[in-house]
Chains A and B, each alone.
Chain A
Amino acid sequence: MDVNALLLELNPQGAYELRRDGYWLVWPEVDVRAMARLMRSREVRLATMTGTPAADGSLRVIYHWDVGAYLLNVETTATDGRLATIADILPAADWIEREIRDYYATEFVGRETTAPLMLRDTDAPGLFSRTSDVGHQTDPAETSRTTLATKDGESR
């Protein structure tokens, strides 16, 4: 795979940074569906996606692509908690999008349904967001699931 050609084709103006662990690109305005279509046509595997809260409360979503010796990590932001789905282009994204919704309540626009993956059908999405201030006590016993149950008002 010609990684340089792929990077140019993906974003000719992109300020790619080659770190110890792969290429990184912060690209807030990325068209994720166009990116997914390009990657599928070039037989580039979607390794995974990572949702991670930013300092301003938004959710950074990083698309990790396998480009051989390196990962290509493309970072964008879920504006207003929404991001276009790529699961219809790359089925590899189906479970990942469902899991990110489970943890951060991000809506992947364009999906017919987004069933919970790790949570139960009756659970509200956004488990990690809802409990972000829970469990940081110094006593490890306070990080137990009972704390969560108390907060949610239901048994777990």
Chain B
Amino acid sequence: MSKIPLGPFHPALEEPYKIEVTCTGETITDAEITVGFNFRGIEWLAERKNYTQGIALLERVCGICSNVHTMMFCRAVESIGAIEVPERAKYIRVVMAEAERLHSHLLWAGVACNLIGFETLFMTCFSLREQVMDVLEGISGNRVNYAMNRPGGVNRDITDPASVLAAIRTIADVTTKQLIPVLTTDPTVRARCAGVGILTREDAIAYGAVGPMARASGIDIDLRKSAPYEAYDQLSFDVPVRQEGDVFARIVIRALEILESCKLIEQAIEMMPVGPIAGGLFPTVPEGEACVRIEAPRGEVIYYMASNGTDMPARVRVRTPTFANMPTARVMALGQGLSDLALIQASIDPCYSCTDR
């Protein structure tokens, strides 16, 4: 029996965290995960910033789904203050959220292709991702922290919808013709990923798995369908679900979700009504509390916010998808070969910056 630590700093890890596996021969018999290396005390800080500062702070929770966190912060304020969002702003929020999902899924697909050994497909994914980044930059003026959301609406309109549509149609076309066929039918991908790192439906529920992780284990949950927010109840899309619970199922789910996001952006751009994109001045937040959630690229994000009526929140709690998904790595790794560990971890699409906050 041997213990093998991986991390917290390792060339194969983009962010610091640690997993220590116990092996008998090449087989993993136990795994212990250590996080907290990126702990920044963002919840603590959020209780010491006013609401305007809080938006900028929470945008820094994650470098990929930064828009999600400002949207959540604003939605929590809107829930406490019963603030209505203009219809056009709801559609703009959908476009931003789905573009961010494309960004996240394409980044992940590229990393997965690299791990499997498909260097050319890795380049294709990153090329598509670059186009999504251009879309996000074209709308918001920024490539990482978009500063799009405000309580009661959004800060910027979509002024060039044609360029957004053109980019999204290119992404959908390449995804359909190149990415999905390889990721879903290639024998090498299937041989490397099918049957590896299985998360059963029962374990997925017990561990509280969310997003593509849960949907790859047969759990049909997606807040955009089950608890629609913004303009999702006006749009048509499918939620891919697989029963296998293995790495391959997670790959297929995310690949198919890329196309669904393209569909959603196209519809949102075409159906977007004319009108205002935000209310007036920054609202006063009354005393109260709210717990809101949305479907981020990696799964459900939850924000709890309490207000005591001042210009600073009394409590901000952030539960990110990786916080819920990462503990499943232990059950998925048990009984697997050591060489499968990197693939299993990557199949979670983990974000430790989000997890540690």
Contacts and interface: CB of A to CB of B under 8 A. Distances in A.
Interface string A44-83: 0111101111000000001010101111010000000000
A96 B79 CA distance: 24
A135 B302 contact: no
Interface string B26-65: 0000000001100101011100110001000000000000
Contact of B317 (A52, A92, A118, A131): A52
A7 interface: no
Contact of A92 (B44, B293, B324): B324
Contact of B205 (A21, A43, A62, A71): A43
A136 B323 contact: no
A6 interface: no
SS class of chain B's interface: helix, strand, loop or mixed? Answer: mixed
A20 B35 CA distance: 34
Contacts of B315: 50, 52-53
Contacts of B165: none
A143 B206 contact: no
Nearest to A44: B205
Interface in A1-23: 19-22
B123 interface: no
A143 B207 contact: no
Nearest to A43: B205
Contacts of B79: 20-21
A50 B304 contact: yes
B48 A117 contact: no
Contacts of A48: 208, 302, 317, 319, 323-324
Contacts of B300: 47, 66
Given A52-B315, A143-B48, A90 B206 contact: yes
Given A46-B208, A53-B315, A62 B304 contact: yes
Given A20-B290, A47-B208, A119 B39 contact: yes
Given A62-B304, A90-B206, A119-B36, A50 B48 contact: no
Nearest to B227: A69
Contacts of B208: 45-48, 90, 92
A69 B226 contact: yes
Interface of A: 19-22, 40, 43, 45-48, 50-53, 62, 64, 66, 68-71, 73, 90-92, 94-95, 103, 116-120, 127-128, 131, 135-136, 140, 143, 145
Interface of B: 35-36, 39, 41, 43-45, 48-49, 53, 79, 82, 205-208, 221, 226-227, 290-293, 300, 302, 304, 306, 314-315, 317, 319, 323-324, 326-327, 356
